[in-house]
Amino acid sequence: MQSGFNFSSYQNDNELTVSEFLKQLNVSLRRYRVLVAGEITGRVNRRGAVTYFSLHDPEEEAVLQCMAFNNILDSVGIELEEGMAIKVGGYPEIWERSGNFSFKAFEILLTGEGALKKQFQALLKKLEFEGLFDPKYKKPLPRFAKHVGLITAEGREAQTDFLTHLAKRGLSVELYDVRVEGAQAVEQIVEAIEYFNEHTFAPTGASGPASRPEVLVLTRGGGSLESLQAFNAEAVVRAIFASQIPIISAVGHEKDVTVADFVADVRASTPTHAGKIISEDWERASVDLEQLQTGIVHGAQNIIVSWRNTLETLSSGITTSFEYYFDSFKLRLVDFSTKLNLVSPELKLKQGYSIVLAGDGSVIKSVDQLAVGDRVKLRLHKGTAGANIYEKN
């Protein structure tokens, strides 16, 4: 019997074995990467390194067999349960040994807010028990940080807000562009943290040796609980804890709280706040410098005024002392002059006395120095006169 098929229309000239056909089919299927939403139905079976589960549409009868490696589930801290609403990202695959069709998930996200909160609390409890939130593990932020590593989605508001409010004081900022939600977000954030810890960078726009960033900022804008799940993923949280570089978590708005906030060395309420935290030391130093400059100027002015007053006081004291000693010396000189005048021969001569001088000019003080007939000279107040000695007693 002739069939209705035209064998010349097949894509292969030679027939394929079942194994060859399934291999080719899987190559094509793996290119078909999609995100599928559904609800877990039936038993969740964890065998070895793989977990098997089924998704179905609550309003339809369609069922999709799924499998995921346990490390994927562990990295996001999800414990699958029947009735849980989730999204799985991956591709379809046919198991060669059984011919069964299944969906291979490489990303799993919870979608129900109640389930997300339950997962959030469970992970918090687990990590707190392990001690990851203990303050003793918090690394202090460096003072006057000059080299910053920024982990966020490039071109988003979080990046703009952070950079706008970061002090413009020659800081070097290295951006690692990551997805902050959806597929690959967890993997990329972990890679970014590890990359900054393992590599050095030459300062951007400044001179200096290559070095690791002094502080990392992990940030994104606000969003729903579901959109923030990458920052509640256990893999991200453990990468933050393992980082040798201190990390500031600045996820969402002030009301948004993630597990990353608990393990980070510092939590900033917003991207803007993160910029202000890093700028704080620089801003304070700028104010202190201005105050110091003002203090130096005022201090110098006060010293000059003080010295001027001291010099004026000393000058006044010197003048007063000089005048005092001058007047005192003047009085003493007058007194000495008066006393000198009192014993001056001229004063006696004015009073009518005379001085008798011998021929050699010596003063005659006694008649014993004279003989009758001697020629003497008399010195009077006005003029001199000669005399002869006629007698002496």
d(CA 219, CA 160): 11
Query: How large is the angle between the packed helices 185-198 and 234-242, nearest 10 degrees?
Result: 10
Q: Verify that 198 and 248 share a domain, yes or no.
A: yes
Name the band, by pLDDT with cuts 50, 70 and 90, for residue 291: low
Q: Verify that 79 and 145 share a domain, yes or no.
A: no
In a domain, 154, yes or no: yes
Per-residue pLDDT tens digits for 324-362? 778 788 888 877 777 777 666 777 777 777 787 887 878
Q: Verify that 195 and 237 share a domain, yes or no.
A: yes
Name the band, by pLDDT with cuts 50, 70 and 90, for residue 378: confident
Q: Verify that 155 and 220 share a domain, yes or no.
A: yes
Q: Verify that 91 and 36 share a domain, yes or no.
A: yes
Per-residue pLDDT at 29 exceeds 70: yes
In a domain, 117, yes or no: no
Q: Verify that 163 and 220 share a domain, yes or no.
A: yes
Per-residue pLDDT tens digits for 155-175? 888 898 888 877 666 688 899
Per-residue pLDDT at 188 exceeds 60: yes
Least confident of 49-63, 125-139, 267-281, 286-300: 286-300
Q: Verify that 142 and 263 share a domain, yes or no.
A: yes
Q: Verify that 42 and 134 share a domain, yes or no.
A: no
d(CA 234, CA 85): 19
Beta pairing partners, 36 = 88
Per-residue pLDDT at 319 exceeds 50: yes
CATH code for the domain of 100: 2.40.50.140
Name the band, by pLDDT with cuts 50, 70 and 90, for residue 1: very low
Instruction: Report the Cα–Cα distance between both ends of the chain, in Å, rounded.
Output: 206
Residue 356: which domain range?
346-388
In a domain, 308, yes or no: no
Q: What ranges in the chain are assigned the alpha helix state H? A: 18-29, 70-76, 113-130, 157-164, 185-198, 234-242, 259-263, 271-342, 345-350
Q: Verify that 264 and 145 share a domain, yes or no.
A: yes
To which residue do tokens 């979080």 refer? Answer: 158
Q: Verify that 276 and 151 share a domain, yes or no.
A: yes
* Total domains present in the chain: 3
pTM, rounded to two decimals? 0.58
